[in-house]
Amino acid sequence: MKIKRTLLFNSFKGLAFVGAIVLMTASCKSQKAVADVTPEVPEEVVVVETPEPEPEPEPIVKPKEPTAEERITGSLNSYFSGIANASSTNAANNSIQEALRMFGSSDAPVLIIFYSANGQEDFDEPTTISKYLNYLKDQKKNPHKVKELVMDAQGKVKELVLVKK
């Protein structure tokens, strides 16, 4: 005997399918609810205090040590002012003798720049350090400062280039 599929049979089949889904969903929720009912045991909380990092000390900035050339340049400019502003001829002559000790020879050339433009420099007639120091003593003024100097192996000034202040 063959059962005809009727609308009623199909509706029972659909109803059974929907009922099965509802039961499965309901059973899952009930297990979930049972699982949620059990109290959770909190884990021990271990507080680890991390030490604050120490700030890095700021590097100590040492003042730049002047080079030998910078020290000699400063000394020569000081001698030039001392000779030009000496209170007497003897004081100026003593300063000249001290300044000449910084040179390899009293005939060391001194070049004086009187004009400079576009990288080109024009020099006055070359002179010697001895003549230049006596010029400062006689004129009682110091119109120049050291621009460059050339030193020999013993650390003495071999050549000097001056420029107007």
Q: What is the mean pLDDT of each run of 10 residues along the chain (165 residues)?
A: 54 68 61 54 69 78 82 94 95 95 95 90 93 95 94 93 92
pLDDT at position 41 is 62
In the block, tokens 């080079």 appear at 67
The length of the chain in residues reads: 165
- According to the model, what pLDDT value does residue 52 have? 77
Q: Smallest Cα–Cα separation from 79: which of 94, 91, 64, 95? A: 95
Please report the pLDDT score of residue 125 as a whole number.
92
pLDDT, one tens digit per residue, over 4-42 is: 555 545 666 766 776 767 666 665 554 555 455 555 666
pLDDT score at 3? 54
* Helix runs in the chain, H state only: 7-37, 68-84, 89-100, 129-139
pLDDT of residue 2: 52
Spatial CB neighbours of 127, under 8 Å, sequence gap ≥ 6 = 109, 110, 112, 135
What's the pLDDT score for residue 49? 75
Residue 61 CA to residue 34 CA, distance in Å, equals: 71
Q: What are the boundaries of each domain within the chain?
A: 68-164
Is the CB of residue 95 less than 8 Å from the CB of residue 86?
A: yes
Instruction: Output the pLDDT for position 42.
Output: 62
